[in-house]
Structure 1
Amino acid sequence: MAHKWRYRAFISYSHADKAVAQWLHRALERFRLPSRLVGEQTGIGAVPARLTPIFRDRDEISAGADLSDTLRQALADSMFLIVIASPDAAGSRWVNEEVRLFKTMHGEARVLALIATGDPGERDTCGVFPPALRFRLDAEGQLTGNPTEPVAADLRPGADGKRMAKLKLVAGLTGLPLDALVQRETARRQRWLLGVASASLALVAVMAVLTVAAIQGQREAERQRAEAQAEAAKVRAVNQFMRDTLSAANPWGAGYDVSVVEALDQATDKIALSFVGQPGVEAEVRHTIGNAYNNLGRYDRARPLLEAAADMRTRLLGREDPETIETLAALAQLGWRDSRFDEAIAQAHELLELRRRVFGDPSPEVGTTLDFLGRLLTDAGQYEEAERVTEEALAMSLALHGERSLQVAACYQTKAVLAQIAHQDYALAEDLSRREIAIRRAVSDADTMETASALNNLGIFVMLQGRLEEAQPILEEAVELDRRLGGAQHPELARALENLGNVHYRLGNIDRTLELLAEVITIRREGLGDDNPEVARTLHNRGMVLSRAGDLEGAEAALRDAVARMGRAYGPDHSDVASGHRSLSYVLQLGGKLDQAEAELRTALAIAERAFAEESPGLAAYRQALGGLLVTRQRYGEAEPLLLAVHESAVLADGEGSVRVAATAGALVALYEAWGKPDKADLYR
């Protein structure tokens, strides 16, 4: 079956060339093909009446991120790629990645270029084309040394000019001969001149109107030129600032010993003085660095930067401007990652309404936001609402893109996590994860970091079903992909290594587990700094492995260190801090330090009661753990109401026969048998 294209073309550009991208987008979408040519069959299909829609990304990609699923989906759904070539585009990581990904999906033939700027005295285009445009790709989507000659129109002085450049691109987008389009334009101009001649008697009557229109047109052109100049100046200022502040603290440069976080700290300290009187530029820098902190897990440092950027953009641009919406989305992501679920849910609902008004409903932007809200509600323990929102996201994405789309794949991932967390239905989670991977591999000829992440999740779901030997090669594949595509210090590699370590831990390969965790700690310390919460989480896992190895003293020391680090990074009310106290309690119990163990577990429960919704399984697990410890301490009367409440909430949430209900019933059986009440124990067998 022929591919159903959603977009005629995807415009890829550096944000320094935003004005050219805006002009090209308008010019192509307003262009009407000659009626006599419409429907004519060319090498790429029937000639359309219009070239709409053309995709142009309006939001800047955050520093440190990968291409979003929205952009990947738009590339997959686009018949052609148009690259606005310039010195800025040649050096843009994102333009190069969009070209590489499009070629991987659709081949070399449908990539067009528009040369916007560069040295007009040089016809060599090496300085304006990104590498992926100048060279062919191999079967795995990687650059080769074989050069290619892209089809290019040229806006530069002494070259095509706007009219001819536009017609060259239209010819490429339709398969029509350029001559036919030039003749159409010539005939159109002749008809226009004839109309002017026949209307000469009425010229005096309309002169005043034409004069006003000319003045308005001149003002509009001046406004657009000023806007383009301001945008270009903003981009140059941001780029220069980032180069000046970060180049002296390059975390990967020879002879340096500084983390990414420390480099960002140095940049943050200079923002206020660097952009006096330039609030638009300052907002952009604060957003970029705030998002980088967010991706690195430094939520305390991300929050003030993103909040300031949101306030500045709201004052300058309004609440419904795409740049403002972008920062509000980053704040919602921050609240989610920082376990501030009530705050994040409110922000996500506002974001959803803004995107409905700005982008329309249905739209890819609304679908993406619904999917995010579903994942957020899942982690907040609001499962019924999460399922409703996620199903809406999936239905919208299927209607917009069809089954074979990255946005649908993202929805399957959210549904898989929901099946895992809300229902412990690991088989369903596995099925959804496999469907996600199949879609990602069908859309793209080469695996991506998102494919590696999906494999990571799949390995976890298989592991949780006890199929450890099957989970191991899945996670090893995820590790190999992350290492090859992301490099030796990528955060996703650390996550995959940690999950692979979990499988080895369950297989009893303790030495191998400790080796993998040692690599994870090295990656996170070198990239994020020693005080990063990701380092603390890995130390936490190492403590649990040491306890399995019988080194209770080493385990206790590692866990106390991890809990202290988490508390400093997150504050006292974060779910990870609660998890650390609970693990420390477990190790203390193994060592017979029951008073200390109970104190740690009560601290963990108090934090969990602030971090989780009342009916969430996360909170129930802490109450069940405390009930179990009280049974061990023979304080059965204190344990009973805790364990009964946990069991009742599981029955209400999941229904009889669920995995969670069986586990809570087992805890009650253990309580009543230890208490000497076998009749009550029989009620829960």
Structure 2
Amino acid sequence: MSLLALSYLKLGQHDESDKLCNEALALIETTVEKEHILYAQGLKILGDLRQEQGDYSKALDAYEKVIQVSVIWHDSKHLGVGDTFNAVGNACFKKGDFKEAEESFTEALRIKRLWLDDDNVSIYTTLNNLGHTHYKNKDLDQALKSYTESLYLQMKRLSGRQYDQLMGPDLLSTTREVIAEIQIIQRKDDEMKDFSSAVGNLAATLRNIALVHQDKADLDMALEVYNLTLAARKAQPIRDNPAIAGTAETIGMLQFKKGNHDAAMSAFHEALEVKKEYQGNNTIDVARTLNNLANMHFSKGSLEEAMAMYLEALEIKRLCLGNDSEDVANTLNNIAHVMFTTGREEESLKAYGEVLRIRQSRQGNDCLAVGVTLGNMADVYIKQGNLAMARTCLEQSLQIRKTRQSSNHIENARVAESLALVHGKLGEWSKAEEALQEALQSRKLHPGSSESNILDAMNRITFVKGQIEASGRSEEVSSDVNVPKGQIFEI
């Protein structure tokens, strides 16, 4: 009955598994004592079921009893005890108790190595789990050590090389050689699925190693390992297209971050081709990659190409998500920026107005995204010479930012300085001084402000004070009508 419960658990039929497991435990209780190993085996299945159901506390209670009984029947070094410690580690990890998970995985690994060869799947899987816990505990060096050891063991298993043949000074070269060997290995049809899965596990471990290097800010090494990850994914006999596309896109992001725009473009194009191959042309995932490619073109100054891709992405997003989604607003925002850059101010304002409408309707009138959009619209109005509208947008943008961001946020200072500039052009020198004083306080509080930034801010205030004195009055009244500060401007 316990075995049948386990079968239902593997099939994902939790209700049937739960029923059979409890029936089995009740039957065992009537025939043998609770300290019997059969009772422990039933409890292990129940613990696995509770873990699948997300009830980690009950799973851990069951595992604790399993270990107690197993130690009585066998000893603390029994392989079954190691398997249960591994299950404890998984439950603790999912629960967020990463220190407890680390201790459990460490004990599981110690016991398993007493029984199993190092290239056993269970060994390198537990090493990966241990790497995950080190990573969550912010111990990047230990995470890298665990992942790297797991990688070597997997390469040994896949290549047939001896461990000492793999342990060279250059991990990247060794890995590259093994992946090249994997690509030409011939497998029987009945072995293909398991072999492809093993290569996929190797790629996943490489990705974990790359992620650690990325977090250590070693982008060159991270890129090297991500490229090996991609090569391993392509070496899988059964292609994992989502993993290939995701890895290519990660490479594109890092290349862009390093300023290698051509390499980034190439990686994003590869991701796009793979996504279209397995998803079709009109999916939200394809649209997001198009958006990233458009960003690449924009950064290179290829504005026509950027606009074409933004428009294609917008069409797909509207098809998939409707006209009022945040994704649509994000792409419209990019389109508006291209229009502004190419001198199409009226079209830019229309697009920003649509962005504003969507964000106000979805997030409210005083969300930070609305404040940012109002600031973008102010830039367009300034370029058009419509200073009254620019002033209105900047006042509202600053009001929202002060509510949603800390007083020392650098963007608060920048918006206040832009508002001061507009006040100055309108002859509103007292208001300009007020805005500059506000900007100065933000810059003084901001930890990244340099002495020159603060000195520049003070010099601007000195200039404005001079204008006030020259005008012979401390208050200027504009002939333009102000929108009340509490009202959000809508297009």
Q: Tell whether 2:409 aligns with 1:409.
A: no
Instruction: Tell me the distance in 1 between the aligned counterparts of 2:147 and 2:464.
Output: 59
Instruction: Tell me what 2:417 maps to.
Output: 627
Alignment of 1:75-474 (within 5 A): 212-213=32-33, 317=58, 354-358=97-101, 360=103, 392-402=138-148, 405-414=206-215, 431=220, 434-435=223-224, 437-441=226-230, 444-446=233-235, 448-462=244-258, 465=259, 471-474=264-267
Q: CA deviation at 1:534?
A: 0.7
Q: 1:653 aligns with which of 443, 448, 451?
A: 448
**Superposition deviation, residue 592 in structure 1:** 2.4
Q: Which residue of 2 aligns with 1:554?
A: 347
CA drift at 1:624:
0.9
Question: Could you tell me whether the CA contact under 8 Å between 1:581 and 1:604 is conserved in 2?
Answer: yes
Check conservation: 1:475, 1:499, Cα contact below 8 A.
yes
Q: Secondary structure at the match of 1:653?
A: coil
Task: Decide which structure has greater helix share.
Answer: 2
Instruction: Establish whether residue 607 from structure 1 lines up as the match of residue 400 from structure 2.
Output: yes
1:337-382: CA deviations, max 9, x gaps?
Answer: xxxxxxxxxxxxx98853333554888668658868xxxxxxxxxx
Gaps (5+ residues) in structure 1?
1-16, 23-83, 90-208, 236-279, 285-312, 323-349, 373-388, 417-427, 678-685
Maintained 8 Å contact 2:287/2:313: yes
Q: Are residues 613 and 412 of structure 1, via their aligned partners in 2, closer, same or farther at CA, if it must alter by over 3 Å?
A: farther
Q: Does residue 19 of the first structure (1) align with residue 6 of the second (2)? A: yes
CA drift of 1:410 comes to 2.3
Distance of aligned partners of 1:460 and 1:576 in 2 relative to their CA distance in 1, 3 Å threshold: farther
Alpha-carbon shift at residue 482 of structure 1 (Å): 4.0
Mapping of residues 520-531 of structure 1, within 5 Å = 520-531=313-324
RMSD: 4.9
* Relative contact order, higher structure (CA 8 A, sep 6+): 1
**Using the alignment, how far apart are the partners of 2:95 and 2:442 within structure 1?**
34
With the length of structure 2 as denominator, give the TM-score of the two structures: 0.53
What CA distance in whole angstroms lies between the structure 2 residues aligned with 1:394 and 1:673? 50
C-alpha distance 534-414 of structure 1, shift in aligned 2 (>3 A):
farther
Give, in angstroms, the shift of residue 626 of structure 1.
Answer: 2.6
Shift of 1:649: 4.8
Cα drift, residue 676 of structure 1: 9.4
Q: Deviations over 1:497-521 (max 9, x none)?
A: 2232223334443332221011111
Query: 1-side partners of 2:397 and 2:94: how far apart?
Result: 33
Quote the Cα distance in structure 1 between the aligned partners of 2:277 and 2:34. Answer: 57
Letter in 1 for 2:322: G
Gaps of 5+ in 2: 14-28, 64-92, 107-127, 149-170, 172-204, 236-242, 467-491
Q: 1:644 — aligned with what?
A: 440
Counterpart for residue 144 of structure 1: none
Q: What is the CA–CA distance in structure 2 between the aligned matches of 1:486 and 1:553, rounded to whole Å?
A: 37
**Residue identity in the other structure for 2:377:** L
Q: Which amino acid is 1:633 matched to?
A: H
Aligned length: 331
TM-aligned CA distance change 1:317 to 1:578, over 3 Å = farther
Q: Which amino acid aligns with 1:551?
A: R
Residue from 339, 350, 362 that aligns with 1:569: 362
SS at match of 1:550: coil
Q: Which residue of 2 aligns with 1:493?
A: 286
- Secondary structure, counterpart of 2:448 in structure 1: helix
User: Does the 8 Å CA contact 2:5/2:45 hold for their aligned counterparts?
Assistant: no
**Offset at 1:486?**
5.1
How has the CA–CA distance of structure 1 residues 19 and 355 changed in structure 2, closer, same or farther, with 3 Å as cutoff?
A: farther
1:535 shift after superposition: 0.9
SS in 1 for 2:97: helix
> Could you say which structure has the higher strand fraction?
1
